[in-house]
Amino acid sequence: MRTVLIHTHGMDVAAAPAGLTLNPGYVSLSALAPGSSGLVVGVGTPNTAMSALERRLLELGFFSGEQFEILAEAWPGRDPFVVRIGNTTLALRRREAESVWVELSRSKAVSSPTAIASPAQ
């Protein structure tokens, strides 16, 4: 499969299958580091038949709208990694997670501290 590189704000580069136009906020689950979280957008590509692996990922809970979090990864090599999908925690190889497309959670902006004035006496 040929891949196309997409630059995003949260990451340096994300890979997308050739012919698949993705929202710049969508990335492959396989490209994420521990601590990443968000929502699953979909599995596979719209213009190809779903593989047995992609069907199995759907059966495990990787369907659109489900929350995920990357909990840990093996060292060295980053493979496999531990992901929580809904209430299920499992280990996946990065190659298995390439066809899972996700939208990262936006961290809440930290507001600047405000000065609290003491009452005048």
DSSP class per residue in 17-57: ETT----TTEEEGGGPPTT-EEEEEEES-TTSPPPHHHHHH
Assigned domain for 113 exists:
no
Assigned domain for 77 exists:
yes
Per the rule left: phi > 0, alpha: psi between -120 and 50, beta: everything else, 93 is beta
Q: Is the whole-model pTM more than 0.95?
A: no
Assigned domain for 121 exists:
no
- Range of 34's domain? 3-104
Rounded mean pLDDT of 76-92?
Answer: 91
Q: What integer pLDDT is reported at residue 13 of this predicted model?
A: 42
Assigned domain for 64 exists:
yes
**Could you give the percent of the chain with pLDDT greater than 90?**
43
Q: What integer pLDDT is reported at residue 110 of this predicted model?
A: 43
Question: If pLDDT is split at 50, 70 and 90, which confidence band does 50 have?
Answer: confident
Assigned domain for 116 exists:
no
Q: What integer pLDDT is reported at residue 8 of this predicted model?
A: 43
Assigned domain for 23 exists:
yes
Assigned domain for 115 exists:
no
Assigned domain for 61 exists:
yes
Q: For the chain, how many structural domains are there in total?
A: 1
CATH number of the CATH domain containing 85? 2.30.30.90
